Structures are given as C-alpha cells and as structure tokens.
A and B are shown apart, each in its own frame.
Chain A
C-alpha cells in the first residue's frame, strides 16, 4: 500500500494554491484520504476547540441547542435554488451585469434615453441588450425551476427522529441540529451526524459516499464505545453534549468531543456520517445531527470550480481596448467637426430651413433645442458614442458562449473521446477555456491511474530473502472454499512452501497474515452460482491494499469478516478470529501503517507495511543481514521492471509493551491538543526493531495507447512532464515503457538531501545541459526527486531548475508531494507565456489541476476529487491526443477566426455610418433604418459566424491525428495575433469605403431618398461581410450553406418588411430602389470591389507563403478526396515543420503527376 508516498510534507513551504480551503490538504495517493487528512488537519492546524470557534450541541435537545448557540444554526431544509419569484428579476439582472460588457451596453442604452441624445427610438436602443439578457434569464429560470423541484422532494423526505421517548417520522426539513435520528439500511442520511450507535454491537457502520465524492467503495465509520447503547435506551443519551468545530467544507475532517456521563470522548472524522451518503451493510444506525441543511459538508462543497479565462479571451480584451480607442477617435472627430460646422454657420442657422434655430412660439428669442457650442459638442460626442457603440461587438460575447456550448457538445459527443466502459463520457466542466486546448505547450501528467490503469496486480513477492517470481497458475476452479473476486496469479513454489515443512514457513505464514490484516479493507461475501465456493469482494479505498488482500486470499489467508474490534481470517481453511487492538493509519511522514493484532494464541503482534525507504530504517539491525540484503536486491529488481514495491515487517509484543502502548494511545487519542502529532509519535515508537518478513511487487499496467499518445504529443511540440509519487526506479522504468525515455537520452539525475548538495547538483546539471545543447541533437531527460524539490521550489534555485528543465526533452519528477506538483506547474506558468495542462486522477493531483491553465481529470478508479476540480474529465490518458490535436486545434482556430471576424464585421458597419456622418453636417443621422441597425449584429450576421465557428473544420480529424506537427499553429498563435487584427481592420476600412462611396458617387445629384440609400448600404454591408466569411469557410456542409445564404435572404426579407411599415419614413423605399438597375449595379459593384483585396491577398499568400495547414489541406483534398481513409504516415518524430512542408509537397507533386 505504501509505494507512493509524499516526503516531508511539513517541510514544504506553504504554497498559495487557490481554493486551498476547498481541498484543505491535497491528498496523497492510495492511503485512506480520511486517515491522512485527519492526521493532517490535526498536525497542520492544531486547532483547539475554543468557545468562539465551536458549536455546542445538546444531544436530543434541539431547542436547548438553538438557545445556546453563539451563531445561527441552520435548519435542515436545503435550498440550492438561487432565486425566488420575488428575487428573480433583481438578482438575476445583478448577476448578469457582472460582465463589464453588459454594463457598457446598459450605460449606452441609458444615455440614449436622455431626450437630448435620443439617437435611436426607445425600443430599438434597448432591444439588443434586452435580447441577450432575456435569453440568459430564461435559461437561468429554467435551471432554477429544476433546482426548486429537487429541493422540494429533498426537503419532504421522511426520517425517523427521536422525540418524547420514541422515534417518530419527520420531514427532512424539520430536522434540527441536536435531533437524534435513526437511519435504516440502504437509506440516505438526512444531515451530518455523529454516530451514536449502530446495529453492530461494536458500533461499526458502513457508508457509501458515492453521492458525495463518487467513491463507490464502503467506508467504515464507528460509534464511540461510550455511546454504543441498545436501541431501546436512547433516553440515556439525553444530557450528553457535543462540542464541534464550525461548519466547514472539508469532507475528510471533523473535530469534536463528546461529554457524556462526566467523561470526555474525542471525536474524529471516522465518527461522523455525512448527508448524501447511504448506509450500507448495517441494519440501522443512530446519530445526532451536528450540521444540518445548507451547513452540511455536502452542501458546502456544492459549488463550481473556480473559473478560468482563456488565453484567447485575454488577447481579445486587449484588442477590445484598441477598438475602444478607435471608437473614441471617431467620436472625437465627429464632435470636433460638428463644433466647427456649427461655429462656421453660426449666422446662417437662424434662417436655414433645415435647422430652424429659434423657437418663435416663445417669442422668437429663445433657441429651440440648441445650447452653447461647447454643450452641443459634448452632446454630439455622447451621441456618436451611442451610434458607434457597435464597434465593441455586443453579440460577440453571447456568440462566444454559444460557440463554446456547441464545441462542448461535440467534444462530449465524440466517440473518440470515450470507450466502452460505463461512466467514461467526456465531460466539459469549464465552458470558457475550450480554445486553450489548442495552444498547450506543456503537459504535466500524473502517473498512477492517469498513465497506468490503477488496477493493481500482485506480481512478485520476496519472503525472508527468497524471491518468488514465477506466478503462472490461476486459481480457477480450485478446491478453495473462498475465492477473491480479483483473480490473482500464484506461484506454485510458494504454494508448496506454505504447506511444506521448510525453515521459513512461519515467516511465510506471518507474511500473509500481515497482508491479510494490516489494512482497512472490508470483505463482502457472495455466493458463486457456478460452484460451491464463496466469492469475496474486497472493498477498500486503495487498489494496492485490495491487491495485497486478494493475494493473501489466493494463498489461503482469506480475510472473511471485519468488525471494528476483530477480524476473521480463514487461515488455510481454518477459521481464526483475531482482535485488532490498535491501528496506526498511514501518514506521509512515516510512510507506513501498522496494526496491533491479538492472535488466537493470546500473543500480540505488530504488523507493519510501508515504503522501503521508511521500512529499512526501522528494522532490527541485529537480525539476519543477509535477508535484508537479498530483499533489497529483490526490491531493486522489482522496481526496475516498473513494479510498485512494499516492505512488510513485524514484531512480537510483550504484554508490558502492549500495556504501555495502550495507555499512551488512550491518552493521546483523547488529547485535545496536538492529537495527530501525539498519535504519530506513539506509532513511530512502536514501529521499531522490526523483523523483516518480505517485500511485494505490484504491477500497475500501463493504459492502452499511452506510449503512442506520448509520442504524438511530443511530435506536436508538447513537452510531457511526468510527476509521480513513485520511487525513482519505478518512475524511470515506467518512463521507458511508455517511450517517454529512450536509450539514447542523456539522463540528468538530481537526488539531493540537503540544500547545498542540491545547489551543487543543479549547477552541474546546468553545465551539463549546456554542453549537451551545444552538441546539438542529443536528447536530455531530467529526473529529479521530491526531496531535492523541497530545496528548489520557492527558492532562488528555481531559476536554475527552470533553465535545465526547459532544455530537457523529458522531465520526470518522482516522489513528489501534491503541493510540489502544483509548484512545478507554477515554475513553468510563472516564467513563460506557454500554456500548461495538468492531467491527473487522484486527490493528490487537485492542486496541480487547479494551478495549470487547463486541468484534466481522469475519471478512473480513484475517487472523483480530481474530476470535480478539473476543467475537462475523461476516461483514459490516450484521449488527450484527439482532445488536443483535433478538438483543441479546431476550437482554437474556430474561436480565433470568430473573434477577428466579429471585430471586422462590426467595424465595417461603423465605418460606413461614419462616412455618412460626414455628409450630414456631423449630426449623426443614420441613413440605415434604426431597426436594421439593431438587427445587424444580432440577426443579420450573427448566425453564420456562430455556425462556422461551431462546424467549420480547417483539416480533417485523420490529417490532424497523423500530422501532430500541425498543432504548432495554435502554439505559435498563428490564428490570432495583432498582425491579423490589423489586417482585418484594414480590410474593414477598405470595404466600408467601397460600400459607402460607390453608391454615394452613383447617386449624387439624384432624387434618391434617405431610406432608399440606407437600404442599399445595409444590404451591401450584410452581403459583403457574409461573402467575406464565405471566402474563408473551408468546409461547406448544408448547415453552412443554410446559415450564410439564409442570413442574406433573411436580411433582405427584413429590409423589405421594415420598408412595408407605413409608420416608418422608409415606407416602400426598397421597392422603388429594387426597380432600378442602378441599385443592382451599385450592390454588385460594391460587393465585388470590396472583396477583391481579401480574395487577391488570400490567393496570393496561399500560393507564395502557404502555411502548414494550407499545405495539409491541399494534400487532403488531392490525395484523399473522400476523406475517409487516413493519409499515409510520412513523418518521423524529429521532422521539423519545414521538412514536413517539403515532404508533403513532394507527396502532392507525386499525386498530381
């Protein structure tokens, strides 16, 4: 169980990891998270339950509890719904207006309501914002109604509550803190409760926490001896008082003590059962409610992951600032010239018919709607802001959300991102960083469970210096009565040796006894229908433990039953009962766990298992050194083939030793201060002078396709770093087997035990790597362990490590603690602009997942903390390749284009308005009907860009998968950069000039009316921007066709409809326009002339300076017209992009000739 361990956590400086409170202590793998956290919370915080920080609960006396509460105590009614009927509108609006963009548009809409500034009609100015708000509000309301409904069912469930001497039925929402509740088997727990008694006389209850953290195995919870009472005598509990900490989110921590019958009992996380869990394998359990309703740990944990912002969006905000600058320049220009015009025509304005400055109704002296020049200029400025506001595209924000939704839909629906196993679907948990997947440069991967299957197989075993390493026979259909559910290969020689009469037979027996009892596994028995054997299913929190217990069972030491005080082991078909006298849970400082067992022959034994590094220091040195040496050699061999190793030891205890331990243990476990530290000290004291029994090697098989996936990622220019808790040899061997390391690579190993030695080896490494850099071509790998990292991270040595690590092709970090994983991610993230991705499956990866730009959780064997903290969740490591190379590439390319296009599209429109303003005496008249203006970015041009951004593919899946180098486009930010932004803006400037001035010159000196020319302009703009998009579309499927041509048709229809409303000044104008040839020629001419630069530029650049993507696209089209078969692989691992280009060109040439 103890192969992956975290060294010296307490030595670590405190990292500032976000939301540390959510996962207060990132867990080390494979140990009961509960145990470790208990220990951690105790050792790290050492909080005392003082009066201010705790709550007092009078058992079975809720009213008393409430009266004496220092703080409000929540009832058990839960409320996950955000809104009520009354609060919906204000709260929802408030939440929506957290977006700066919305505030901007609201500000503009309000400006427009001032009569002086009313540019648009009331309705028209509010319309776009209202649409956006309404859509979101409807979505929120729908979700909230669902929450209301589930809240109601939840609150109306029934529970059995102790009142007036008997248990009565009560609704969940009426349960109060202090109530004593009885729960029967297979039912859910209504609140967080301290266990008082259970149907098991020793007070054990099993709970399943699948609804809480997704772990489906059973967890053991205990009622304290003092409270275990018969069901009928609940009254005796009245008067007991529990003092516990205030409600918090830590589901693995709980601190409290119970005062009953004058004595004081301390309570820990193993004494509490949480809401959302189900009681299993226990007939009934009685508990007292300590946290209820929204204060339960489940509800406190019920909040989303912290939101991240994508790289592209950050860049987009930068460009938005530039656009605002352009906007301000335009507005200043207009207002300045309006001022000049007014000043120059000051004398004319009284009489000019179109101005009519004086209001003769009030005597002809006062001005009508005209103020001092300065004020006029100011008003003009504000009005021009209102008119040109669309320069900042409001629709872009909602489009981006829709596009991400669409992209997430396709990612979740992709058959290549999931396998046949249940619960393996790809999940998009964060919706705003889809496009970051296309720009990743560093992948930080956990090993166990992420790259490996985390299905532990017991392989080799070394007992008393004898290596048993030929497991062949499967114990199928054997004569054994008990069968472990997990099939185990056994070594026939060892099977013989157990039965045989050899000198170390006792050692072998003790060894397997240790495997069978030194754990926290719960056995469940099933009848096997096919034979008369019984199947034993071992439920536990660590796959290593399951493998060990199953192995013991296969060799005839079957753990059959576990209660809190004793275990039953079927030793070679003889049922024996052992008393569990004490248990020292695993912690990452000791890196071992131990049990004290009272054997049937009244002897007391201590069994210890742990990591080899920690075990060899506590062995009895006076004993057989040969065995120690042999075992060490075996361990070396095991880890060289990639096995996870464990060392088992034991010691016989004298009764004095035991009694001394017992009293010390009692003292420590009721201690209020430093309980964890004291318990650890006692454990360390006991675990000494051990007899070495043997060692085990457990295999954790690589997941399918991992080596290929890693190779693809590296071809794509992504650096893969592996961070593991395994020991160095294991890590290196896995590194070779997943082709991360190769024989030609120079390995730089840093293993330091002190700051100075660490400094020295780092300096050497820097020199070495520099030297190897000069002899170019040599690949380097850096292997560094957690001990060294302690001295490196967060010190001045970080810089050097960064230097070495970035020069290396591969970095392997072994024996790293969870926080160190995050520290390594931060090492890269803080020093470069490169995007980082962290992938992991366990609770110990949470900090790393949250630190990286993109966090991916593997929904595997090991709980769901990683998945819950992640941005994306999937089932297997190899899915990372299609996720990044295909979806990441698509997402990035689509989103980048969409943002640029939206900027361009709105700029064309604004510039056309601007040119017209120059011909209206700078008075901001808008020839384009105000409804068309409003509909422009919401209806006329919104759908095609969204559809294209969801559906367009620049390259097919197979091309992207076969040529990972194409991923570089995203890493180099080829699709969105300031140059492209400027190009798009220049294009919009040109197109607006054409759209405006071509009709202007054609219609000068004619009797064309205001609305008619406006209709021509809006149609011209819409068709032009849609065709501009059409030129850039790569794949035309029917949806794209429908969206683009449909939008143009819809615009036309809208213009016609608007011009058919007699109320509007443009009544019938479009019909008159459409009846003239001049209109059609203007439209055609403006569109063609507008598109020429874009088209010429595209054709020219694609021919003279084709990008990788362009070449691949051509190959795809000419080599593979159907797109169904995959392209031949032509590219080697080290081929650079340039070479790739050449090769593809050759290929293309051949195919054409």
Chain B
C-alpha cells in the first residue's frame, strides 16, 4: 500500500509511508555530500589584481607592436574603377551602359606601385554595399546539387533561380551562383603582360568536398535577367574556382574576394596597366568596385586596427596598474 501513497516529490527517496525505509539513519558521510570538496578560494588581493593587469599589459603591448609593424609592412594598392570605367557620355546612364551587351566595357587603368611588392601579390576585387549576407541571398544555393550529379534537380531552395522557365534545373542554381562576379583584369608592365595565376584561389576543402568534379554547369545564366558571369559548360564545378570563391559568401556588405595571384615581385614606382572588362552591374544598387593588389604578412592583409587596439588596451592596463597601486597605497583597507 505504501508505494501507492508515495509522493514522488520526496527527494531523499524515502517514502513517507513506507515502514521499511523509515529505518534510514544518517546519510552516508562523504566530502561531496557534505559539500566539503577540497577547493581553492582565489581572492582579488592587491597583488593579484595588479599582477593580472600587468600581465595583460606585458602581453598586449608586444602583440600590438608586432601586428602593427606587420600590418605596416603590407603594401596595398587600391583602385576604385566603377565610376571611372563608365564612358563620359554614359554618365548618369550607368544602368543602360552596363545592361547593354553591345557597349564596349573595356577600360584601362594605370596603377603605380608605391613600394616593392614581394611575390606573391594577391589580386582582390572589393565590392561595397553588396549584401552577400542578405537573407534572400545566403539561402539561395543547393549544396547537394553542387556535389552530387544525381541531385541536380534539387533546386527548390534556389528559387527564383532554380529552374529555367521551361522547368529544367539550373546547375549551379540559386542567387549566389547566378550573381557570379564577372569583371576581368589583365595586367601588364610596359606592355609586357603579367601572368595571373588563378589556380588555387579557392579553398582546397571546397574544391574537393563541396564542388564535384562530376558536375558540369547546365542551363546556367540562360534566364531573362542576367545576374553575372557565365560558366564554361565543359569544365566541372570543382575547377570553376572563381565560382567557388564567389560562393563562399562574405560576412559583411563590404568585402574582398581573391581574383588571382601575381607570382612575381613588383618593383617600387613601376606603373602597371590594368585592362578591365567592366561587366558586373553594381550600378543598380550604387555599389563600388575596387581592384586591390596586396602583399600578405603573417598577420594577413593590411589592417592597423588590431595593432592599435592591442596597444591601447595594453596602455590602459598599465594605467590601471598605476591606478590600483595608488588606490591600495592611499586608501588601504586596514
């Protein structure tokens, strides 16, 4: 009978009404049940507080200096060309210019190298105001289709660029692939053309595991609205590195993507001629296009912010050390 009356809320496991368990004596002693586990009890003593801030300062200031100098060592050439590459007579009519397939989109730019750039020189294009992280955009891709030839019809998530109007699946489908960046750059110094290596610009992991060598582009960019570049239908996706790079969507609306590498030192004050095929439409939404040549150091590209931030924090911690020393000296507790 007792068990039917037992209330389940009794934690100690003994039923109110069970005579057998009534005999339970003291609970077993253990350091755990008595909450007496050996423990360390750190306190924020003056020494520890000052020590921690000093440690942070000692750690941060060298890191700041190192990354600042690394960042300063990076040589970066940035050229914004979206506005300048529209012929003078088309100003104000940029959309007509870019949408008209018969206009001449070729544009020549001259860049001066400020300092010697050691090989490899990375070529990036930088877009601005382009929301590769827009909700409509990031979801519009079919990873299954990219990897498995049998899944080429899995285009539901890619709408409205999933199927052609007559119902055939587009490979690769989706807004991301559809909007593939298609400006091209040709570099030359004094009419000596410079070789641009476009191999290995995409992640090896993407080439081997996300884009199949058995999947070929199909029905791509055949719709009423052309979003961007076209793909050679005889090259498998795993070798379409521009596409793979493009499909690694950027985190922020201002982003760079790797175009290729120049595996040759560029000397200071050399003038580089860049012939740009200005195909990509950023005029519709007022986005900027930039060409970036940059070397890289161990910290990556040019960015002084981290170094400055580390130096600031290090300095702040040093002043906190002083402030706490003053506090502990002039207003002691005891």
Contact = CB atoms under 8 A, between A and B. Distances in A.
A1116 B143 CA distance: 61
Interface in B241-300: 248-258, 281, 284-286, 298-300
Interface in A353-408: 353-356, 358-361, 364, 368-369, 405, 408
A97 interface: no
Contacts of A410: 33, 35
A429 B324 CA distance: 49
Contacts of B38: 1037
Contact of B12 (A412, A1034, A1095): A412
Given A921-B131, A1006-B301, A1068 B206 contact: yes
Interface in A414-430: 414-415, 418-420, 422-423, 425-430
Nearest to B30: A413
Contacts of A151: 4
A798 B235 CA distance: 93
Q: Which interface residue of B4, B10, B132 has the most chain A CB atoms within 10 A?
A: B4
Given A1003-B251, A1009-B251, A1010-B132, A1098 B44 contact: yes
A427 B11 contact: yes
Contact of A360 (B138, B225, B324, B328): B225
Interface string B1-28: 1111111111110101101001111110
A455 interface: no
B316 interface: yes
Contact of A1104 (B203, B250, B300, B331): B331
B306 A1081 contact: yes
A147 B6 CA distance: 9
A355 B134 contact: yes
A576 interface: no
A920 B26 CA distance: 62
Nearest to A864: B16
A163 B280 CA distance: 99
A1035 interface: yes
B143 A1010 contact: no
A1081 B310 contact: yes
A1117 B43 contact: yes
B209 A1067 contact: yes
Contacts of A1135: none
A1006 B300 contact: yes
B212 to A, nearest CB: 11
Interface in B95-152: 95, 124, 126, 130-138, 141, 143-144, 147
Nearest to A431: B9
Contacts of B310: 1081, 1085
Contact of B141 (A413, A1065, A1102): A1065
A94 interface: no
Contacts of B126: 1005
Interface stretch (B80-88, B155-163, B183-191, B192-200): B155-163
Contacts of A1008: 250-252, 255
B153 interface: no
A1034 B39 CA distance: 9
B20 to A, nearest CB: 11
Contact of B316 (A143, A1014, A1092): A1092
B54 interface: no
B250 A210 contact: no
A1106 interface: yes
A515 interface: no
Interface residues of A, number: 126
A495 to B, nearest CB: 39
A352 interface: yes
A491 to B, nearest CB: 38
Interface in B291-334: 298-301, 303, 305-306, 309-310, 313, 316-317, 320, 324, 327-328, 331, 333-334
B178 A423 contact: no
A211 interface: yes
Contacts of B320: 1092, 1096
B228 interface: yes
B63 interface: yes
Interface residues of B, number: 110
Contact of A429 (B9, B179, B225, B334): B9
Interface stretch (A540-548, A632-640, A935-943, A1070-1078): A1070-1078
B58 interface: no
A1089 B209 contact: no
B42 interface: yes
Contact of A1081 (B14, B63, B256): B63
Contacts of A1071: 205
Nearest to A303: B7
B327 A1007 contact: no
Given A154-B1, A1008-B251, A1103 B256 contact: no
Given A348-B285, A415-B27, A420-B25, A427 B10 contact: yes
Contact of B136 (A923, A953, A1076): A923
B52 interface: yes
Contacts of A690: none
Contacts of B220: none
Contact of A353 (B42, B281, B317, B333): B281
Contacts of B133: 919-920, 923, 925, 927, 1010
Contacts of A360: 160, 165, 223-225
Contacts of A1088: 56, 60, 313
A1145 B334 contact: yes
Contact of A1009 (B14, B33, B250, B298): B250
A214 B17 contact: yes
B210 interface: yes
Given A302-B4, A1035-B39, A1145-B333, A412 B11 contact: yes
Interface string A261-302: 000000000000001100000000000000000000011001
A955 to B, nearest CB: 10
A925 B285 CA distance: 20
Nearest to A1030: B42
Nearest to A307: B9
Contacts of B331: 1103-1104
Contacts of A223: none
Contact of A1085 (B41, B46, B137, B309): B309
Interface string A1016-1029: 00000000000000
Contacts of B42: 1036
Given A354-B137, A864-B16, A211 B1 contact: yes
Contacts of A369: 136, 159-160
B112 to A, nearest CB: 21
A1034 B40 CA distance: 8
Given A414-B34, A425-B27, A953-B39, 12 more contacts: A298-B5, A356-B225, A409-B11, A923-B135, A1002-B309, A1014-B251, A1039-B37, A1071-B205, A1077-B299, A1088-B60, A1096-B320, A1103-B328
9 closest pairs, A vs B, by CB? Answer: A353-B179, A351-B284, A1068-B205, A923-B135, A150-B3, A413-B33, A1035-B39, A1013-B251, A360-B224
13 contacts: A302-B7, A351-B281, A353-B178, A364-B224, A408-B11, A923-B131, A953-B39, A1006-B300, A1034-B41, A1062-B210, A1078-B306, A1092-B313, A1096-B320
